[in-house]
Homo-oligomer: A and B are copies of this chain.
Amino acid sequence: MQKTKRLLAIEKIIAEETISTQEELLKKLKGKGISCTQATLSRNLRQLGVGRIPDGSGGYKYSLQENHRASSSSTLKFNIVPVIQDIVEAKGLMVIRTIPGNASNTAFFIDGAGRYEIAGTIAGDDTILVIPRDGVTLQAVHTCLEIILPGIHEQVKNRK
């Protein structure tokens, strides 16, 4: 799917460099062999939850909302990371294990972050299945999880 590739490329570009207009983003994409019109970008940016915010020096830049929703409960976030037991990849999916009874809360939190990379999650009692969107690498999902729950990988490492 052409759109998925474009959305991922947009996220990446915006995360890595300062983009201040859609026309500018259009050129960057063209440089990567992805082409579309500015109108499409406008729609895509909305879908991705990308906002336009002052860059602090008189201009504007596009910005992933990152944890605009998630950050509202940083305490909750802090409480969630410690319940994570393990993260393993399987069949192109990702499986997260928590201490018993905590999978549902954690999955809810992950869903709430509204990340494009994650198509959805299914939670049991102590296991969460994270389903990446088509075309999204597990590497990207790891990055994404670290954004949603900073320190999650460190936590897992320490458990071992």
Known contacts A78-B74, A78-B75; A52/B51 CB under 8 A: yes
Which residues of B are found within 8 Å of A66, using beta-carbon distances? 71-72
Known contacts A74-B71, A74-B77; A54/B50 CB under 8 A: yes
Query: In the complex the two chains form, what is the Cα distance from A65 to B67 in whole Å?
Result: 11
Task: Choose from B47, B56, B68, B77 the contact partner of A53 (Cβ within 8 Å).
Answer: B68
Which residues of B are found within 8 Å of A100, using beta-carbon distances? none
Give 1 or 0 for each of A77-94: 1 = CB within 8 Å of chain B CB.
110000000000000000
In this assembly, does A98 line the interface, its C-beta being within 8 Å of a C-beta of chain B?
Answer: no
Q: What count of chain A residues pass the 8 Å CB interface test? A: 27
A residues lining the B interface (CB < 8 Å)? 45-54, 56, 58, 60, 63, 65-68, 71-72, 74-75, 77-78, 114, 150-151
Which residue of chain B is the closest to A59 with respect to CB atoms? Answer: B46
Which residues of B are found within 8 Å of A58, using beta-carbon distances? 46
Query: In the complex the two chains form, what is the Cα distance from A75 to B7 in whole Å?
Result: 29
